[in-house]
Amino acid sequence: MNAVEMGHGSGGTLMEELIQRIRSVFSSSYLDQGLDSAILPPVDGKLAFTTDSFVVRPLFFPGGDIGKLAVCGTVNDLSVVGATARYLSSSLILEEGLPLETLDRVISSMAAAAREAGVEIVTGDTKVVEKGHGDGVFITTAGLGSIREGIDLSGALLSPGDVLIVSGSLGDHAMTILGLRESLGFASALTSDCAPLNGMIKALLDSKAEPLFMRDITRGGLAAVLCELAALRAAALEVEEDALPLRDEVRALGELLGIDPLSMANEGKILVAVRESRADAALAALRAHRYGRDARAIGRVVALGAEGVRMRTSSGGMRRVTRPYAEKLPRIC
């Protein structure tokens, strides 16, 4: 038995063996309850609840894999609304024929990412589909967190003059995946930025930065997040092209493939908006953390009442930033 069989999803002894294998890696007293739902202790205050499916291809890449991504993505979605990530669920859709060794690598990576993030995988499910009806492994995580009192990261308090900060270099994840798929040798220097950002975000919230808005920069890239914020608050935003933190390899690969860095997906970066007077505190808090070392102010809120995003280009012109229609990077996460 070296590969996933249809019987692994059938509710019998074979499935039970697979589930025990997964449980022993995730190692949680809640999973060991053996109930249809994990029973968790009371949580004070408001709750944050989120979910994401992960279908990234290939399953393994420099800097991470689908398992790490599935944990980090959900931890980050909880963190950017000001929640302390606590519990995760993990549901796997396995394709018949998947080597069990591959599955072991993926779930071990999930367990390691959960340990780093300080969250517990407390409930799960496993299904199997026939060869040719899935693609190795798809993972869906859901996450549960508790919200800090008195925090509002919705952008409701945004004002003209507020500063926009990104926590580090853009596009590392997207260009790593794409370089790998296209077998572009020079892209091998690239590493995905996939990381659990809850520690960095906690440091930011604990600092004097008083962030007004926070969002992780994933599918759709910075352009999508900026356009969302602009739409959410009818805000006019302006960013500086020269201020965007971009690795040389990312810039080069983007030019080669015709992909705008503004639309490249990341898996370990956030956009933060703060008052101008708090920008230094925010940058200091981010840069003190390993995942925020390259944090940089990239622009500001210029007005309220008229939605729009523009970018002052390197050549001194002004360009309108729009949400991409359909980017060229399928299955990036």
Measured CA to CA, the distance from residue 14 to residue 17 in angstroms comes to 5
Q: How far is the CB of 117 from its own copies (least distance, A)?
A: 15
Q: How many CB atoms lie within 10 A of CB 73?
A: 26
Strand-pair partners of 146 = 47, 84
- Residue 55, interface with its own copies (CB under 8 A)? yes
Q: How far is the CB of 204 from its own copies (least distance, A)?
A: 16
Number of residues that bind its own copies (CB under 8 A): 89
Closest CA to 180 of 26, 18, 13, 332: 332
| Residue 117 C-beta-side C-alpha neighbours within 13 Å | 36
Which sign, positive or negative, has the C-alpha torsion 150, 154, 158, 164? Answer: positive
Q: How many CB atoms lie within 10 A of CB 151?
A: 15
Of 79 and 188, the one with the shorter C-beta distance to its own copies is 79
- Residue 80, interface with its own copies (CB under 8 A)? yes
- Residue 24, interface with its own copies (CB under 8 A)? no
| Tokens encoding 154 | 């919705």
Of 99 and 161, the one with the shorter C-beta distance to its own copies is 99
- Residue 54, interface with its own copies (CB under 8 A)? yes
Query: Any residues with CB less than 8 A from the CB of 247 and at least 6 apart, and which?
Result: 169, 171, 172, 190
H helix or E strand, kind and range, residue 255? helix 248-257
- Residue 102, interface with its own copies (CB under 8 A)? no
Judged by CB under 8 A, the chain residues 269 through 298 that form the site for its own copies are none
Please check whether residue 100 is in contact with residue 131, taking contact to mean a CB–CB distance below 8 angstroms: no
- Residue 171, interface with its own copies (CB under 8 A)? no
- Residue 114, interface with its own copies (CB under 8 A)? no
| Residue 310 C-beta-side C-alpha neighbours within 13 Å | 11
Q: How far is the CB of 136 from its own copies (least distance, A)?
A: 9
Measured CA to CA, the distance from residue 74 to residue 142 in angstroms comes to 7
The DSSP call for residue 333 is -
Closest CA to 332 of 140, 172, 173: 173
Q: How far is the CB of 110 from its own copies (least distance, A)?
A: 14
- Residue 263, interface with its own copies (CB under 8 A)? yes
Please check whether residue 34 is in contact with residue 124, taking contact to mean a CB–CB distance below 8 angstroms: no
- Residue 92, interface with its own copies (CB under 8 A)? yes
- Residue 307, interface with its own copies (CB under 8 A)? no
Q: How far is the CB of 332 from its own copies (least distance, A)?
A: 8
Amino acid letter for position 247:
R
Q: How far is the CB of 248 from its own copies (least distance, A)?
A: 24
Of 92 and 274, the one with the shorter C-beta distance to its own copies is 92
| Tokens encoding 236 | 């006019």
- Residue 32, interface with its own copies (CB under 8 A)? no
Q: How far is the CB of 79 from its own copies (least distance, A)?
A: 9
Stretch binding its own copies (CB under 8 A), from 82-90, 176-184, 246-254, 281-289:
82-90
Q: How far is the CB of 268 from its own copies (least distance, A)?
A: 14
- Residue 210, interface with its own copies (CB under 8 A)? no
- Residue 202, interface with its own copies (CB under 8 A)? no
**Which of 116, 135, 210, 307 forms a contact with its own copies (CB under 8 A)?**
135
**Which of 128, 177, 194, 237 forms a contact with its own copies (CB under 8 A)?**
128
